Amino acid sequence: MTEQNIPLLEVEDLAVEFATPDGVVRAVDGLSYSVTAGRTLAIVGESGSGKSVSSLAVMGLLQIPPARIVRGAIRFKGEDLLTLSPKEHRAVCGTHIAMVFQDALTALNPVHTVGWQLTEALRARRKMSRREAAARAVELLDMVKVPNAKERIKDYPHQFSGGMRQRVMIASALAMDPEVLIADEPTTALDVTVQAQIMTLLSEIQAERDMGLILITHDMGVVANVADDVTVMYAGRAVEQASVFDVFASAAHPYTRALLRSIPRLDQKGAGLEVIPGRPPDPTSVPAGCPFHPRCGYAEDVCRSDPPPPQHTLRYDRRSACHFAERVVQERGGVR
Ligand SMILES: Nc1ncnc2c1ncn2[C@@H]1O[C@H](COP(=O)(O)OP(=O)(O)OP(=O)(O)O)[C@@H](O)[C@H]1O
Ligand code: SF4
Ligand SMILES: [Mg+2]
């Protein structure tokens, strides 16, 4: 393995539950993935599939209780963060792993200037003077291409547009020079043009800094444009893991195929988008066998009784949690 391929971050068999009045929510159930320097891993899946909860677990930001990490490992450069105290875990993340949260507006503090928020961590941990911190804040805003950065560090979050606020969030996540950046739906609240600009910005920054980027999204179109590797989540599990090329050339899980059918295609003008039939399972009572079976056009009896092997390997770098993965992957064009 070359140094390039050694994972920066490895999540192995992670399981997170919440105790709720309606029962135990198995939000993440045996998730594994890894990300290396200079690569982008996209984590995709419908709402409620465990994308944010698994990322908050990586960052040490789950509120315990009601959350409980039931099993698994979260290794940064080989060190399992789950063996550290919560304070030590957050300290590693504060320096080496950063996250852009799903809701930019609530993640920024309305009573402080943007300059203050960008450098709060630097002043506290790196003991920067006011003047050094202000210079660094300008540098960070320049990096994310906020025009007139020198003046804008004096403004408050509400004085920024949605797209500019998201740039500020990205700048703030980059303040400590992280090696891994987790971006949780960084563009959902923005209009399409701004979404594209933010994605381009993230890709450029990632390439410049050779970071590992984990991009959480609903949008397979975004995945096609920016990801190297893909993890598809369903009901807290990874159902397919492969390179972006393999996923788009011949997805090996029926759920991935269903997600792909919901992308608009220029060559099929006028054809309506397909919606995946049914709904994701109630997280307090996930169906027996394969959790996707009530919605799956490939399902057979075995799917209703036996869970598919979670890490069924088709090739060394391809996994699909489906009893019929080999058959599905052969059906290049025809999807059910
Ligand atoms: N504090 C909590 N208490 C109970 N259940 C929770 C809590 N936080 C999350 N969950 C549940 O955990 C599951 C996974 O949630 P998560 O936020 O990770 O989904 P997601 O994939 O990020 O969805 P979205 O695409 O909507 O952001 C959901 O069923 C959610 O309702
Ligand atoms: S295991 Fe069965 S139900 Fe699950 S995705 Fe595969 S074919 Fe569909
Ligand atoms: Mg989420």
Tens of pLDDT, residue by residue over 172-205, are: 888 888 999 999 987 776 777 777 788 888 888 8
Single-letter code of the amino acid located at 114: V
Pairing type for strands 67-76 and 79-80 reads antiparallel
User: What is the Å distance from ligand 2's center to 278 Cα?
Assistant: 15
pLDDT of 2 above 60: no
- Could you give the percent of the chain with pLDDT greater than 90? 44
- Confidence at residue 270, expressed as pLDDT on a 0 to 100 scale: 47
pLDDT band at 64 (very low <50, low <70, confident <90, very high): confident
Domain spans in the chain, listed from the N-terminal domain onward: 3-106+180-330
Contacts of 40 (CB under 8 A, 6+ apart): 203, 206, 213, 214, 215, 226, 227, 228, 229
Q: Whose atoms come closest to the Cα of 48: which ligand?
A: 1
Mean pLDDT of the chain: 86
Identify the residue with better confidence: 270 or 204. Answer: 204
Lowest mean pLDDT among 24-33, 163-172, 265-274, 284-293: 265-274
Residue 102 CA: nearest ligand 1 atom is 27
- Extended strands (E) in 142-224: 180-184, 212-217
Residue nearest to atom 30 of ligand 1 (CA): 48
pLDDT of 335 above 70: no
Q: Vertex 317, ends 311 and 321: CA angle to 5°?
A: 25
d(CA 220, CA 45): 9
Single-letter code of the amino acid located at 233: M
What integer is the mean pLDDT of 88-115? 85
Which two three-digit tokens encode residue 308? 């598919």
209-236 burial, b at 16+ Cβ within 10 Å, e below that, comes to: bebbbbbbbbbbbbbbebbebbbbbbbb
Which two three-digit tokens encode residue 167? 């740039």
User: What is the Å distance from ligand 2's center to 19 Cα?
Assistant: 28
Q: Which of 125, 163, 134 is nearest to 146 (CA)?
A: 163
What integer is the mean pLDDT of 61-82? 94
Residue with tokens 């690569």: 39
Domain 3-106+180-330 architecture: 3-Layer(aba) Sandwich (3.40)
Pairing type for strands 97-100 and 180-184 reads parallel
What integer is the mean pLDDT of 155-180? 87
What integer is the mean pLDDT of 229-247? 94
What integer is the mean pLDDT of 200-212? 88
d(CA 183, CA 138): 22
pLDDT of 125 above 90: no
- Confidence at residue 127, expressed as pLDDT on a 0 to 100 scale: 77
Q: E strand or H helix at 97, and its extent?
A: strand 97-100
Q: Which of 318, 170, 307 is nearest to 230 (CA)?
A: 318
Residue 302 CA: nearest ligand 2 atom is 2
Give the gyration radius of the chain's Cα atoms: 21
d(CA 172, CA 166): 10
- Confidence at residue 334, expressed as pLDDT on a 0 to 100 scale: 42
pLDDT band at 255 (very low <50, low <70, confident <90, very high): very high
Query: Is the shortest distance between the CB of 285 and ligand 1 below 6 Å?
Result: no
- Confidence at residue 106, expressed as pLDDT on a 0 to 100 scale: 72
Residue nearest to atom 27 of ligand 1 (CA): 47
- Confidence at residue 182, expressed as pLDDT on a 0 to 100 scale: 94
SS3 content of the chain, % helix, strand, coil (to 5): 40, 25, 35
Query: Is the shortest distance between the CB of 292 and ligand 2 below 6 Å?
Result: yes
Q: Whose atoms come closest to the Cα of 53: which ligand?
A: 1
pLDDT of 336 above 50: no
User: What is the Å distance from ligand 2's center to 320 Cα?
Assistant: 10
Q: Whose atoms come closest to the Cα of 295: which ligand?
A: 2
Residue to mutate, 16, 46, 51, ligand 1, most ligand atoms under 8 Å from C-beta? 51
Q: Could you tell me the end-to-end alpha-carbon distance of the chain, in angstroms, rounded to an integer?
A: 38
Residue 49 CA: nearest ligand 1 atom is 21
Residue to mutate, 234, 290, 295, 331, ligand 2, most ligand atoms under 8 Å from C-beta? 290
pLDDT of 61 above 80: yes
pLDDT of 118 above 70: yes
Q: Whose atoms come closest to the Cα of 56: which ligand?
A: 1
